[in-house]
Amino acid sequence: METPELTDYRAHLLDALDDQPRRAGEERPEFLQVLVNHERVGTLNCAHTDPSFTYSARERSIQHLEIRNESGVLVGGCVAPEAGQKSVRVPIGKGSVAIEVQNHFDGGSLKLQYAAAPGWWSNLASSIGFSSATSSPTAATTPVWTMTTAFAQIVLAVGVVALLAERVPNWLNAEDRAHQLEEELAARQSTQEQIDRVHQQLAQLVEAQAAAVAVSRSEQDRIAQLNALVDTVALAQQKLNTQVVSVQEDLKTVKTDVAQEVETGLRVAVNTVEADRELVRQDLKSIKSVNETLIKQVALLESRNRELHARLALTSLEVTKANAAPKPAVVAKGDLPKETPMATPVADGIREADRQAFMFWVAFQDGTTEKSIEDLVQELNGIKKGPMKSGWYSVEVNLPNPEPPDRFLESVKRAKIVKSVVTSKAMPPAQ
Amino acid sequence: MRDGQIFSARLNNVVTTEREFDELVAKSLPELLDRATGQTKRFLRETNQWGDDITHEKLALRWGYELVERFVVFGRTEVPCRPFFLLDSLIAKSFSQPDPLCYHKELLTPVGRFLDGLASRAVVSRDALIALFYHFYGFSQAHVVKLLGFGQAESQRVYKNFERWRQTGWQRTMNETGLSGSEIEVLEQELRTKPDHLNHEVDRLMPVLQSHYRKSEPEHYPCLSEQKWGQLFHDDYGHDYRVWHLAFCRDCFLEVADRRQAEVSSGLKPQVNLHIHPLKKGGVLALFGGDRGGRHHGNTRAHRLSRTSA
Ligand SMILES: [Zn+2]
Ligand SMILES: [Zn+2]
């Protein structure tokens, strides 16, 4: 559709985008609004003696950070990985804001620190194109800064080389399969190591528990010891989580067969870990004389195990999805002005998002047969993902015409054999 | 279009410095906007939220614009990157959130789009947030200051908000929302001839609108009981809370405004009272004089809207 009104509107928007850098520099930073995942979480007062802002999020990690001035102009921000950390410094007005995001899967923390411009920084910044203003009069007209500029370029060059060494291979050598394979194997290797470490921790835990039974009179010491072990395990698991994500990230550029291989590796690893955990869990159950503190610790461990292992399963799943060969686009041909080679992965990205929206966990009534579960899943056109975990099945459906998930889930709930349905994406709900 | 193709190719390649990113992006805005708009249309189609008309085309453009705005700012922190790839992943990430866009059939009318434009702006702009009190209820800056129980320094801030909104914010918001001059004129006309009808419509749409945009409110800002509100004002805390929640919650607003009527002393029963254009300078007079286009309420008092009606 092409009408004068639309053309006009589009032109307005383009002007606004074009004007964005100027507007971002226009207002003297005073109160900066902080938005996390599109929610306004507070204000950074730049005039304050300690112009800093901290925030921590529960449940969801900090994936999306926006900094806006009072009139709403977007002056800075970034996206951060779901787990792991990101720190950047963004120029705002004549100063800058240092952003530090630290994410784990179910939350994250954010720290912002505003620094009014020390002279050298703004000049350095503008001379190497850091500042969002396209040209800085100071840099352009003052010869004093020529030296700084030269220096800055050296700094920049070194910086770029460092960046290249660190990041560019992922992008540039996308075609170089041998190299990719190497990297992936390395990634897989390190994942394996992490998993091995968890194994070891679990073994130690079992030992510790055996010891606890044997000398049950002096429990206190061993409980302290166990606490420490559980912490270590938790830490290892945390690391493993992070590792899995970075593997997942790396895998995004890899061809399907490699991905499959890695996925299989992961699944095997997951299964082994799972088996070990099952053992641990049984052992734990057989220990009668452990006091209440110990039981609580174990419960905590169990829930962490469940969480971790659901995440591992989900991650393998996503790895496959991320690497599946692009399917032909089903919709909206000629919708985009130009079909560039990049368009297909996008379509996939969106479809993947849709699919994810239809992942859910379902629990069945006691005594429901495997057969009727299969039948229901088939009826829903769904796929069961992974084995049952603590009574919950993960099911993925892919509807040709997506209904609103709520309505769809309502209809699932109505099935007689279904006890409960939950949409928590990452893990089976705790019981 | 030849240039476009060259940039298109470059947008698929790796960009290694922030400067390179900025320069390329500045030259390729039309392509980036078209790509983001196209993705948005596709998303709307696939989720059965598309209609073949100018309103939907405008919505897609508006959301495409917002995506590109973020891309331009965030992208610099992601170099080295492939710009198109990064844009696509940002878009995919945005659309995979629950309820990523405010799409409601009722909000596709001119008045609905007007309200939607204001509210979505108010989520990111304090100027617009403060202005909501005027556009929704006709509160001048002085009333807002009294309603919110602000001291000297914060009052200054409120006045500043009103001023910036009046000078540029409002017009920019209309432009970015895609409300043309003639559409606004029609709204003004309707407000002059059928104020009650239009205000009733606003009252009806507000819950739809607010329930969407209140999502952008942190969880720790829930509705408060009358007693809690009283306490909050009495003990003088939660200033941010007051601004944010009252601007975005009609029920709490009406309750607090009613309760604080003595302080606010507007002499009017607080109620929905739409204003299209921003408050002119010296707007305190305008509120009572009724010389603004939007205000022509012969029977203001007769038209009391129940605060509990949806
Ligand atoms: Zn909505
Ligand atoms: Zn409320």
Which chain A positions have a beta carbon within 8 Å of B240's beta carbon? 42-43
Query: In this structure, are B200 and B115 located in the same domain?
Result: yes
User: CA nearest A238: which of A308, A286, A164?
Assistant: A308
B220 burial via Cβ count (<10 Å: 0-12, 13-18, 19+): exposed
pLDDT more than 90, % of chain B: 63
Query: In this structure, are B85 and B128 located in the same domain?
Result: no
Distance CA A358, CA B96 (A): 11
* A401 contacts chain B (CB < 8 A): yes
DSSP string, B180-233: -HHHHHHHHHHHHH-HHHHHHHHHHHHHHHHHHHGGGS-TT-----HHHHHHHH
DSSP string, A212-266: HHHTTTSHHHHHHHHHHHHHHHHHHHHHHHHHHHHHHHHHTTS-HHHHHHHHHHH
Minimal-distance CA residue of chain B relative to A30 = B157
Give the helix/strand (H/E) hosting A109. strand A107-115
Query: In this structure, are B130 and B80 located in the same domain?
Result: no
Q: What is the pLDDT of residue B58?
A: 95
- Judge: domain A358-422, CATH 3.40.1170.20: no
> What is the block-wise mean pLDDT of chain A (431 residues), using blocks of 10 residues?
89 95 86 90 89 89 92 93 90 90 90 78 49 39 39 43 41 46 59 60 60 54 60 62 61 54 60 60 51 59 62 56 44 40 39 54 84 82 76 74 66 81 65 45
Enter the tokens of residue B228: 């809690």
Distance CA A230, CA B144 (A): 55
pLDDT (tens digit per residue) in B289-309: 333 333 333 333 333 333 333
Q: Residues 60..89 of B with a Cβ closer than 8 Å to A: which?
A: 61-62, 65, 68-70, 72-74, 76-82, 84-85, 88-89
Q: B307 Cβ partners below 8 Å, 6+ apart?
A: B250, B251, B254, B255
**Closest ligand to B98 CA?**
1
> Three-state DSSP class for A307?
helix
Distance CA A325, CA A323 (A): 6
The answer to whether A68 touches A29, Cβ cutoff 8 Å, is: no
CB contact under 8 A, B124 and A167: no
Q: A87 Cβ partners below 8 Å, 6+ apart?
A: A98, A99, A100, A101
CB contact under 8 A, A20 and B69: yes
* A165 contacts chain B (CB < 8 A): no
Please provide the average confidence, as pLDDT, over all residues in chain B.
85
The partner residues of A95 in beta bridges, in order of sequence, read: A92
Q: b or e along A275-308 (b: 16 or more beta carbons within 10 Å of the residue's beta carbon)?
A: ebbeebeeebeeeeebeeebeebbeebbeebbbb
The answer to whether B60 touches B44, Cβ cutoff 8 Å, is: yes
Torsional class of A383: left (φ above 0), alpha (ψ -120 to 50), beta (otherwise): beta
Q: Which domain holds residue B195?
A: 105-303
Query: In this structure, are B165 and B77 located in the same domain?
Result: no
In a domain, B232, yes or no: yes
Q: Residues 48..67 of A with a Cβ closer than 8 Å to B: which?
A: 63-64, 66
pLDDT (tens digit per residue) in B26-45: 999 999 999 999 999 999 99
Query: In this structure, are B46 and B13 located in the same domain?
Result: yes
Q: DSSP character for A70?
A: T
N-terminal to C-terminal alpha carbon distance within chain A: 53
CB contact under 8 A, A352 and B92: yes
Question: Greater confidence, B261 or A146?
Answer: B261
Query: In this structure, are B227 and B83 located in the same domain?
Result: no
Give the helix/strand (H/E) hosting B112. helix B110-124
Query: In this structure, are B150 and B277 located in the same domain?
Result: yes
CB contact under 8 A, B54 and A1: yes
Enter the tokens of residue A78: 């970034």
Distance CA B235, CA A98 (A): 35
Long-range contacts of A400-407 (CB under 8 A, 24+ apart): A401/B48, A402/A354, A402/A357, A402/A358, A402/B46, A402/B47, A402/B48, A405/A357, A405/A358, A405/A360
In a domain, B119, yes or no: yes
* A1 contacts chain B (CB < 8 A): yes
CB contact under 8 A, B161 and A74: no
CB contact under 8 A, B35 and A337: yes
Q: Residues 327..346 of A with a Cβ closer than 8 Å to B: which?
A: 331-332, 335-338, 340-342, 345-346
Distance CA B83, CA B45 (A): 25
Number of domains forming the structure of chain B = 2
pLDDT (tens digit per residue) in B243-253: 999 999 999 99
A3, A335, A350 ranked by CB distance to B54: nearest = A3
Distance CA A361, CA A422 (A): 5
The answer to whether A142 touches A88, Cβ cutoff 8 Å, is: no
C-beta neighbour count of B296 within 10 angstroms: 13
Residue B209 to residues A314, A424, B118: CA-CA distances in angstroms? 35, 27, 10
Distance CA A286, CA A29 (A): 63
* B228 contacts chain A (CB < 8 A): no
Query: In this structure, are B268 and B177 located in the same domain?
Result: yes
Query: In this structure, are B90 and B203 located in the same domain?
Result: no
Q: Domain ranges in chain A?
A: 12-117, 136-228, 358-422
Query: In this structure, are B53 and B139 located in the same domain?
Result: no
Which chain A positions have a beta carbon within 8 Å of B118's beta carbon? none
Crossing angle of helices B110-124 and B170-177, rounded to 10°: 120
The answer to whether B117 touches B169, Cβ cutoff 8 Å, is: no
Distance CA A241, CA A235 (A): 10
- Average pLDDT estimate for B121-142: 95
Q: B157 Cβ partners below 8 Å, 6+ apart?
A: A31
The partner residues of B81 in beta bridges, in order of sequence, read: B15
Which chain A positions have a beta carbon within 8 Å of B46's beta carbon? 331-332, 350, 354, 402
The answer to whether A273 touches A309, Cβ cutoff 8 Å, is: yes
Distance CA A281, CA B46 (A): 45
DSSP string, A125-164: HHHTT-SSSS--HHHHH-TTHHHHHHHHHHHHHHHHHHHH
Position B221 pLDDT exceeds 80: no
Q: What is the pLDDT of residue B87?
A: 94
CB contact under 8 A, B92 and A14: no
Question: Greater confidence, B145 or A409?
Answer: B145
Which chain A positions have a beta carbon within 8 Å of B34's beta carbon? 336-337
Minimal-distance CA residue of chain A relative to B36 = A336
- Average pLDDT estimate for B68-92: 92
The residue out of B95, B114, B133 marking a domain boundary is: B95
| Whole-number CA gyration radius for chain A | 27
In a domain, B308, yes or no: no
C-beta neighbour count of A386 within 10 angstroms: 18
Distance CA A281, CA A7 (A): 65
Crossing angle of helices B250-259 and B239-248, rounded to 10°: 120
The residue out of B66, B95, B124 marking a domain boundary is: B95
* B96 contacts chain A (CB < 8 A): yes
Residue A329 to residues A324, A333, A344, A374, B52: CA-CA distances in angstroms? 14, 8, 7, 30, 21
AA letter at A382: G
The residue out of B71, B95, B119 marking a domain boundary is: B95
CB contact under 8 A, B123 and A40: yes
Minimal-distance CA residue of chain A relative to B245 = A40
> In whole angstroms, what separates CA A41 from the centre of its chain?
20
CB contact under 8 A, A171 and B80: yes
**Closest ligand to B248 CA?**
2
Q: State the Cα angle at A175 between A174 and A180, rounded to 5°.
A: 60
Q: What is the pLDDT of residue A200?
A: 61
Enter the tokens of residue A237: 């698991």
B306 burial via Cβ count (<10 Å: 0-12, 13-18, 19+): exposed
Q: What is the pLDDT of residue A218?
A: 59
Q: Residues 151..210 of B with a Cβ closer than 8 Å to A: which?
A: 157, 160-161, 164-165, 168-169, 172, 175-176, 178, 180
pLDDT band of B7, cuts 50, 70, 90? low
A21, A335, A357 ranked by CB distance to B38: nearest = A335
In a domain, B259, yes or no: yes
B126, B176, B240 ranked by CB distance to A16: nearest = B176
AA letter at A126: S
- pTM value? 0.57
Query: In this structure, are B133 and B38 located in the same domain?
Result: no
C-beta neighbour count of B277 within 10 angstroms: 17
Q: Residues 127..156 of A with a Cβ closer than 8 Å to B: which?
A: 128-130, 132, 134, 156
Long-range contacts of A175-183 (CB under 8 A, 24+ apart): A177/A255, A177/A258, A180/A253, A180/A254, A180/A255, A180/A258, A181/A258, A183/A250
User: CA nearest B125: which of B208, B218, B243, B33?
Assistant: B243
User: Looking up tokens 């004093």, which residue turns up?
Assistant: A144
Q: What is the pLDDT of residue B187?
A: 96
Which chain A positions have a beta carbon within 8 Å of B91's beta carbon? 346, 349-350
Query: In this structure, are B45 and B82 located in the same domain?
Result: yes
**Closest ligand to B100 CA?**
1
